[in-house]
Amino acid sequence: MVCDLLDAQATANAVSGSEVVYLVAGLKYDASVWQEQWPQVMRNVINACKQHDARLVFFDNIYAYGRVDGLMTEETPFNPISKKGEVRATIATMLLDEIRSGKLRAMIVRAADFYGPSAVQSFPHATVFERLKVGKAPQWIGNPNTVHTFTFTPDAGHAVAVLGRSSEAYGQTWHLPTTKELLTGADFVRLACEIATQPYKLQVAPRWMLKLMGIFMPVLRENEEMMYQFEHDYRFDSSKIESAFRLQATPYRLGISESLQSGTQNQVQ
């Protein structure tokens, strides 16, 4: 069913008859759009779920945490340092307040940055995998010598399905299974080059160049406030779900291999 989530009645109509609702919508990557539309989307979905007695699973990101020194866990407090992070903290708090009130059965699930087969909007897809497929040097932004964790998309999808079907998971926040291998950006690229049987090469765009390119490319301009994620260690921990549901994350070597193979197959087709 096609639904405009900014329309309260359309949202309620879409939710009608559902036992579990998964809010996985994405909005245009623009801070002003997020500020205007995300609170309205969240309110409409919350009200629709309450009206139709549906459970809600909200797939969130980690922007609300801001810069974290050390591991990001489900207990990490909200401390946003970006406009988009402030929006995410606002809508997550809206949902948490509803959960605490006892009027809605819901949960928040979070993942690190994505990578995986056919995850065409992920950072590694464009900068690493697609470039390796055509024999070009992979690219990176920020500091390639800092740790940056990635969540494998098939792991995330499977875990969300498990959580949504588990009554004991509601009323909580969950980090989706993510490998504990602490690879830097350079390590990630080096491993991808090895798997692709290509010599290790890496191009890093300097910050000034990204700012200059942002004048002409809105997506890069919008990413400026999020650059702290690539300039400092970004370590995402999923020990809670691993312990509670015995779910394990895919190792980078296997995940990168599957991502590269998927791209090759799509190219041949």
> For the domain that residue 86 is a member of, what is the CATH number?
3.40.50.720
Whether residue 143 is contained in a domain is answered as: yes
pLDDT tens-digit readout, 6-50:
999 999 999 999 999 999 999 999 999 999 999 999 999 999 999
pLDDT at 224: 84
pLDDT at 255: 98
Query: Would you call 168 exposed, middle or buried from its count of C-beta atoms within 10 A (0-12, 13-18, 19+)?
Result: exposed
In the chain, pLDDT over 90 holds for what percent of residues?
85
In the block, tokens 């997020």 appear at 34
pLDDT tier, 265 (very low <50, low <70, confident <90, very high otherwise):
very low
Mean pLDDT of the chain: 92
In the chain, pLDDT over 70 holds for what percent of residues?
91
Residues 267, 219, single domain; the answer is yes
Residues 73, 123, single domain; the answer is no
Q: Is 70 exceeded by the pLDDT of residue 104?
A: yes
pLDDT at 219: 53
Q: Is 70 exceeded by the pLDDT of residue 173?
A: yes
Integer Cα distance of 162 and 234 in angstroms: 26
Q: What is the DSSP letter of 3?
A: -
Whether residue 31 is contained in a domain is answered as: yes
pLDDT at 205: 77
pLDDT at 222: 61
Q: Is 50 exceeded by the pLDDT of residue 269?
A: no
CA torsion sign, 178 to 179 to 181 to 185? negative
Residues 141, 86, single domain; the answer is no
pLDDT tens-digit readout, 174-224:
999 999 999 999 999 999 999 999 999 999 977 656 665 555 555 555 678
User: Could you tell me the two tokens for 49?
Assistant: 């779920």
Backbone angles phi, psi at 58, to 5 degrees: -100, 120
Number of residues in the chain: 269
Residues 261, 142, single domain; the answer is yes
Cα 61 to chain center, whole Å?
A: 5
Whether residue 41 is contained in a domain is answered as: yes
Whether residue 165 is contained in a domain is answered as: no
Residues 2, 18, single domain; the answer is yes
Residues 90, 133, single domain; the answer is no
